[in-house]
A and B are shown apart, each in its own frame.
Chain A
Amino acid sequence: MERSRTQGESGASPAARTAPDRPSAPARPAAQERPAAQDRRIGPYRLITRLDPPGTAVPCRRFVARTPDGARTVLLSTPLPGTDPARFAAEATAARHLLGPWIAPVTDVAEPTGAAGVAGSADPTGSAGPTGPTGPTSPTGPTGPAWYASPYVPALPLPVALAVHGGPLPEATVRAVGAALAEALAAAHSQGLTHAGVSPAAVLLTADGPRLSCFGAVRAAAADGEPRTGLPGLDPGALAPEQASGGRPRPPGDVFALGAVLAYAATGHTVPEREELPPALREVVSSCLARDPADRPTAGALMASLAPPTAHQTVLNSAGTLLTPGWLPGRVIAALARQSAELLAAELPELPEQTVPAEHATPARA
């Protein structure tokens, strides 16, 4: 219990955690050169790097992190400062039920903290962290942060993909991304779920298709009924008018946001002039961005218009027919390969407390 509480603290306030660690450093010369940031932990994971470049507008903080034994690498999401961690955690728990090839699978969620007190969102299996020297975050720890994790695969946030490509993405890429995400939304909507977090930064591009992340960012930003304009983590261009004014997120809002994502992918911004859009996409993207939710297509209809049915498609995966070699531009693939290579080469710095947990506990108590 002692140990897990200690780690809960270190995860909650990394800066504070590293501070008491420093005085002990002279006794261990290796630790002297270690930047403080490398000791950061969230839940049972040690952080390796941020996924998003500094200074970019993101719906949630995303890191690549690793279990202390080095065995598992994950994509770890945490709430932005200024958002409600309890609502974030509740969304993460709900996102565990979202499945499908184009959804980043949530496999590991921090238990909501007692202080936040979100009733009804506790998932009895949610704290099943990986085994390792640290063990799972204490489910009752008063200061445990909210987080959830997906298995890591090389992934670029859509804005990063545009940056490495050097501008808007080719129409074939936009179409493939759009069809896959429309398919993902259609599946969620048919389950009665609304994503409520679709935005350019929430879309990750991987080698075999896009992945939707940051589930529920709109609901996490502010409760229904409160205006959401200008809140942290919300991309104003991807926020449907009815949601901006505080309306409860519903499927047409997801379709609006997806339209904004496609507009962004094809032009570089979420609110383009109609003429900027490639002619073949103008109609479909504009229809998604209709102010009146009733005028927008359903996700299913959107998928059909982006990926017209073919003879060989299967019921399970129709958007996949567009993900043939060449769907991603070369420089985006190169960036994915570089990210993969860098993370393959990344090594967790050796920590004294990693190998000898008891020694760590002693100075912490002192």
Chain B
Amino acid sequence: MLSPLTHDDPAAVATYRLLARLGSGGMGTVYLARTPGGRTVALKTVHARLATDPAFRARFRLETDAARIIGARHGAAVVDADPLAETPWLATEYVLGPPLDDAVALGGPLPEPTVRALGAALAGALAQLHSSDVVHRDLKPSNVLVTAYGPKIIDFGIARAAGDDHLTRTGAAAGTPAFMSPEQASGQEHPPAGDVFALAGVLVFAASGHGPFGTGSPADLLYRVRYAEPDLTGVPEALLPLLTACLAKDPAARPTTGDLIAHLHDGHGEFADHLPPLLLADIARRATDVWLHAPHRLPVPAGAAFAETAPSTPLSRRRALTLGSGSVLGLAGAGAGVWAWLNSRDTEGGTATGGTPTPTGPTAIPATTAADGAPAALWQQDDVLDREERITPLLAGADVVGLAETVSFRAVDTKTGSELWADSKVREPHQITTDGTNFYVSDGNFEGPGALMIRTLAARTGKETAKTITLKGIDGTTTELLAAVGSTLFTASRLGKRESDSDANQIGWHLLAVNLRTGKEAWRQPYAWDGVRPWLAQVVGDQLILGKNSGDLDTFLVQSRDVRTGRQLWKRRLPLKDSAAFKPGHLALDDRHIYLGGDRLRALRLTDGGIAWEYGSGTGSTNYGVPTVSRGIVYAQEAGDTQGIVAVRAPAGIRAWRQSPSDRPLTPEFFTAPVVGERYVYAPVRGGLNAVDPLNSRSAWVFQTDATRYVVDKERTRIIGAGESSVVAIPYA
């Protein structure tokens, strides 16, 4: 879709005025742009860094020539190109139609008549290419744009980022080998019959929603493409013989493009007659929206001053980071007319070992609590069956706190502690989140095709205040709701339907953004499942910050993504080997840094994920708990040579104060963030909440409770604590 320009996009490339971003990837950015005469085009530009490589320029020129050969009927019409410019660019027609993968995601597998019409038209396009001695080599759903007059093939497998050369050598020329021919997968020449094999894969995908060799790691796919029988489940019976023949491992045994045209379609009617209504509606919307787009540009993001001091590079800081982190983002969901520069390549790390972390307490100091001077609870509920999974309770409305319990979700009045409503459809804490106004609850189909349903519940009544959003082709039963901000809901979701097979449940994971107003998916980006939840998520500025323990619990992963596109801006792994498992329940961030505990207290820059400062000895015996940040000070519990709260200045990592070593011995709860009050800093300790007075750095009192997580109500009058068996309200001071 059309995204605003960012602050560092140029105003124009050659004579083209830039209007919007259509997508970007490791090789460059595609813009919607306009000539002085008002012609609107898709303008593909190449990163300056790649442009300095003569070999890359040569391939970019070949790509441009290939685009001209396929022509306007079967491809995107080439308007103009300058492969020799400082920033090489290619201007093509802005194609009004979704990529095939988006079309299937939108309305599910296509009906047989659509698949037939699509297949015949694609076979015709390939026939024309092959007659010009051009082989496409990278036919796949994201390279097929479905317009009202037929499919258009884009993005030949010629121009590749320099770093992809090794992939070419191993045969994985285009990232995902899901639609590659066996000969290509084994590193041999890809003949015209290889395009026929790929075309059949594309049609299997269109008809069934899955490729003939499934999904998974490139290595698995390469193996299956070469040796395994294709999976044609869901393909209409009448298409099976032809598609099976096209998927023969022996190129000589495959039908020709002429055979395909003859067998797929008798040529009756117009192409649009064969398209399903949802796809037609999407085409109509794209044809209209491009005229309604008002060009605008995003402001300089907070913290961009750091970019000025970064090492000089011809790229903007953000782009440099994207390249530097090895991120090669595809354009899933980026919209029509977009050249799929490179495939989505997951940059998530971690091995899928699964398992549950078993944090061990860093100290053996006996817990003693003192109720002296502690205030009385404002209210307390003792009939709680808490999951303790979502560590921060959810606050919504002026006075509602939500708790995800074992059997239901309960909304409690923060003033009285009385239950406002309960929803038994929330079985798991990850099914619910809030934007502070409403609660959002996910659910899904346990049988049949996958569907993610999102209900919007009013904070005080639990009543549905908006139409349920349904997204097809997504397993809603395993979806984790990450955050809701503005009108966007972020989720971690598996594509497909619910699977009983646990192996199947490990593939197809994506981060999704859902527009709560329109009920449409805004973007999706894949990530590799590594067995560990949850993602902690928070939005700051135009960044979605995500944090999570790695599958082996050796590292804590932090990454930043563009909230508009899901594009990964940077990622960072922090070692946890030398610290007791750091398993935070929330992310502490301000407008400059993310603060993390572990073997040290660390601040990562929001701009690039680099370490801004580290505090602490870094010895194995020292640990820092989950921090919190307030008014320029980071607070965390520390255990090592001293024990208790430490307050560190947020900008530079210099200690402001620390709890007196001679204070009463208490066992810190490292996985619970401290609460910062007006008068006290509240440190969660075993068996209670310790109020530390910053004026004398000593514990004033300990409130006894089994609560393990806390939140301050919106009016800042009380701290709500939730634990294994109780919910309690403590006066905030």
Of A63-71, A84-92, A96-104, which stretch is located at the interface? A63-71
A213 at the interface (CB under 8 A from B): no
Q: Does any Cβ of A come within 8 Å of B284's Cβ?
A: yes
Q: Are B96 and A347 in contact (CB under 8 A)?
A: no
Contact indicator A348/B37 (Cβ below 8 Å): yes
**Stretch in A52-60, A184-192, A265-273, A338-346 touching the partner:** A338-346
Instruction: For the complex formed, measure the closest distance between the CB of B110 and the CB atoms of chain A, giving whole angstroms.
Output: 14
Instruction: List residues 285-303 of chain B with CB under 8 A from any CB of chain A.
Output: 285-288, 290-292
Q: In chain A between 325 and 361, which residues have their CB closer than 8 angstroms to a CB of chain B?
A: 325-326, 328, 330-331, 333-334, 336-341, 344-350
Cα of A326 to Cα of B93 in the assembled complex, Å? 27
Task: Verify if B55 is at the interface (C-beta below 8 Å from A).
Answer: no
Chain B residues near A151 (CB, 8 Å)? 291-292
Kindly provide the distance from the CB of A177 to the nearest chain B CB, expressed in whole angstroms: 15
A68, chain B: closest CB distance, angstroms:
9
In the complex, what distance in Å separates the CA atom of A311 from the CA atom of B35?
A: 48
A207 contacts the other chain (CB 8 A)? yes
- Inter-chain contact A73/B96, CB cutoff 8 Å: no
Cβ of B477 within 8 Å of any chain A Cβ, yes or no, is: no
Q: How far is the CB of B388 from chain A (nearest CB, A)?
A: 39
| Smallest beta-carbon distance A61→chain B, Å | 21
- Kindly provide the distance from the CB of B520 to the nearest chain A CB, expressed in whole angstroms: 12
The listed residue (A73, A333, A350) touching B280 by CB distance below 8 A is A333
A344 and B284: CB pair below 8 A? no
- Complex formed: what's the CA distance from A66 to B36 in Å? 11
Q: Is the CB of B34 within 8 A of A154?
A: no
* A-B pairs with beta carbons under 8 A, tally: 109
Contact of A208 with B272 in the complex, beta carbons under 8 Å: no
Say yes or no: A331-B278 contact (C-beta < 8 A), given A344-B290, A349-B37.
no
Contact A337 B149 (CB under 8 A): yes
Q: Please give, as numbers and ranges, the residues of chain B lying within 8 Å of A349 by CB-CB distance.
A: 37
Bound-complex Cα distance A26 to B287 (A): 40
The docked-state distance in angstroms from the alpha carbon of A58 to that of B292 is 26
The distance from the CB of B115 to the nearest CB of chain A, in whole angstroms, is 16
Asked whether any CB of chain B lies closer than 8 Å to the CB of A18, the reply is no
The distance in angstroms between the C-alpha atoms of A70 and B96, with both chains bound, is: 20
Contact B40 A344 (CB under 8 A): yes
Question: B126-151 vs A: 1/0 string, CB under 8 Å?
Answer: 00000000000000000000011100
Instruction: Name the residue of chain A whose CB is nearest to the CB of B280.
Output: A333
The reply to whether the CB of A153 lies closer than 8 angstroms to some CB of chain B is yes
How far, in whole Å, are A328 and B148 apart by their CA atoms in the complex? 13
Interface string of B36-60 (1 = CB under 8 A from A): 1111110000000000000000000
| Interface residue? B94 (CB, 8 A) | yes
Q: Is B277 interfacial (CB-CB < 8 Å)? A: yes
Known: A326-B281, A338-B149. A331 touches B39 (CB 8 A): no
Residue in B34, B283, B292 whose beta carbon sits within 8 Å of that of A333 in the complex: B283
Interface size class of B (residues with CB under 8 A): 35 or more
Are the C-beta atoms of B34 and A70 separated by less than 8 Å? yes
A73 and B467 form a contact (CB under 8 A): no
Q: Is the CB of B287 within 8 A of A336?
A: yes
Tell me whether A206 is interfacial, beta carbon within 8 Å: yes
Assess whether A337 is in contact with B283, with CB atoms less than 8 Å apart.
Answer: yes
**Chain A residues whose C-beta falls within 8 Å of the C-beta of B165 in the assembled complex:** none
**Is B38 in contact with A341, judged by CB distance below 8 angstroms?**
no
Q: Does B270 contact A (CB under 8 A)?
A: yes
In the complex, which residues of chain A have a beta carbon less than 8 angstroms from the beta carbon of B37? 70, 347-350
- A312 interface residue per 8 A CB criterion: yes
Residue of A nearest to B291 (CB): A153
B292 contact set on A, CB distance < 8 A? 151, 153
User: Given the interface contacts A71-B38, A344-B94, does A153 sit within 8 Å of B288 by beta carbon?
Assistant: yes
Judge whether A337 and B273 touch: CB under 8 Å: no
Contact A337 B270 (CB under 8 A): no
B287 touches A340 (CB 8 A): yes
Knowing A326-B281, A330-B272, A330-B275, the reply to whether A340 touches B290 (Cβ < 8 A) is yes
CB pair A337 B277 closer than 8 Å: no
Chain B residues with Cβ under 8 A from A345's Cβ?
Answer: 39-40, 77, 93
Q: Smallest distance from the beta carbon of A180 to chain B beta carbons, Å?
A: 15
9 A-B pairs whose Cβ atoms sit less than 8 Å apart in the complex:
A73-B291, A154-B288, A207-B287, A208-B284, A333-B287, A336-B287, A347-B35, A347-B38, A349-B37
The 10 residue pairs across chains A and B that have the minimum distance between CB atoms: A70-B38, A326-B277, A207-B284, A334-B148, A325-B281, A330-B272, A347-B37, A340-B287, A334-B272, A348-B37
A333-B281, A337-B148, A337-B286 given; 5 more Cβ-contact pairs under 8 Å:
A69-B38, A208-B284, A325-B280, A331-B273, A349-B37
